[in-house]
Structure 1
Amino acid sequence: METLVLIVHVLLAAGIIALVLLQQGKGAEAGASFGAGASQTVFGSSGSTSFLARITGLLATGLFVTSFMLAMVAKDKANAVSDAGIPAAELIESSAAEAQEPELPALEAEKAPAPESDIPTAD
C-alpha cells in the first residue's frame, strides 16, 4: 500500500511540474492584439489558462492527500518500533554498534619481569 501511494505521489509531482511549465505567463496575452486570435485555440475562446489551472489545482490536491497518507504511514511505523519497547534512538545506536568490529578481549597481564631497556639511566 505504501509503495502504491509513493508511486502516485511521484507521478502527481511530475504532473504538476509539467502543467506549470505548460502554462503561459501573464504577458502572453499581449500577442492577441497582433492577430493571434483566441478562435484558433484548442481549449476554446477563453484559452487554456482556466483548464490548465483547474487541472493543476486537482493535482495539487492529490499531492497534498498523498503527502498526508505518507506521513500517517511513517507515524505508524514509528509507533510500531516504540511499541516493541525499542526507542528509536537506541535502535539507531544498536544498528551502528553492530556495524562496528567487536572489541578484542583484553590480554591477561603476565607476571614476567619488565624487559631491560637500552636507554641508559642516570645513577
Structure 2
Amino acid sequence: MLVLKNLIFVAQFLSALGIIGLVLLQHGKGADMGAAFGSGSSGSLFGATGAANFLSRTTAILAVIFFISTLSLTFIGSHKPKASAGVLEGVITPAPASAGANAGKAALPPVDAPAPGQDVPK
C-alpha cells in the first residue's frame, strides 16, 4: 500500500508542476489583439490558435490527473486498517473463576499453616 501511495504522490507532484508550467506558458486574453495586427503568431509551430488549444487541453488533462490523485490520496489516508492483536490474535484465554461460587465461604487459613511468627527460627 505504501508503494501505491508513493506512486500517486509522484503523479500528483508532477501534474502540479506541469500545470504551473503550462499556465505560465499560456497567453492571456489580451494577447490575442497582437495577432490581429500581424505580430507573427500565425507562423508558430501550432498555428494561430493551435498553441492555445494544445496548451489548454494539456492543462485540463493534467488538472484531471491532479484531482484524481488528490482524491485517491485522501481516500488512502482516511482508510484505517483493523487493529490486530499481533501474535496472540488466535489465542483463547480461559474464563476467570466466577466470584459467586466462593461468596458464601469465609476466607480461613489452611489447617496445616503455622501461626504467624512460628516459622521464624530462634
TM-score by length of 1: 0.60
**In 2, Cα distance between the equivalents of 1:35 and 1:63?**
37
- The one-letter code matched in structure 2 to 1:27 is G
Percent of paired sites with the same residue: 41
Between stretches 8-17 and 28-37, larger displacement belongs to: 28-37
Higher relative contact order (CA 8 A, sep 6+): 2
- Alpha-carbon distance, 1:38 to partner: 4.2
Cα RMSD between the aligned structures?
A: 1.6
Q: Which has the higher helix share?
A: 1
**In 2, Cα distance between the equivalents of 1:27 and 1:67?**
33
Residue 121 (structure 1) aligns with: none
- The one-letter code matched in structure 1 to 2:64 is T
Query: Could you say what secondary structure the match of 1:4 adopts?
Result: helix
The aligned runs of 1:83-102 (5 Å cut-off) are 83-84=82-83
**In 2, Cα distance between the equivalents of 1:68 and 1:50?**
27
Residue 10 (structure 1) aligns with: 13
Correspondent of 1:68 among 53, 68, 71 = 71
- Alpha-carbon distance, 1:36 to partner: 1.7
Structure 2 runs not aligned, ≥5 long: 85-122
Correspondent of 1:45 among 36, 45, 48 = 48
Are 2:38 and 1:35 aligned? yes
The structure that has the greater radius of gyration is 2
Give every structure 1 segment of 4 or more consecutive aligned residues whose post-TM-superposition deviation is greater than 3 Å: none
Say how many residue pairs are matched: 81
Query: Could you say what secondary structure the match of 1:63 adopts?
Result: helix
**In 2, Cα distance between the equivalents of 1:3 and 1:33?**
48
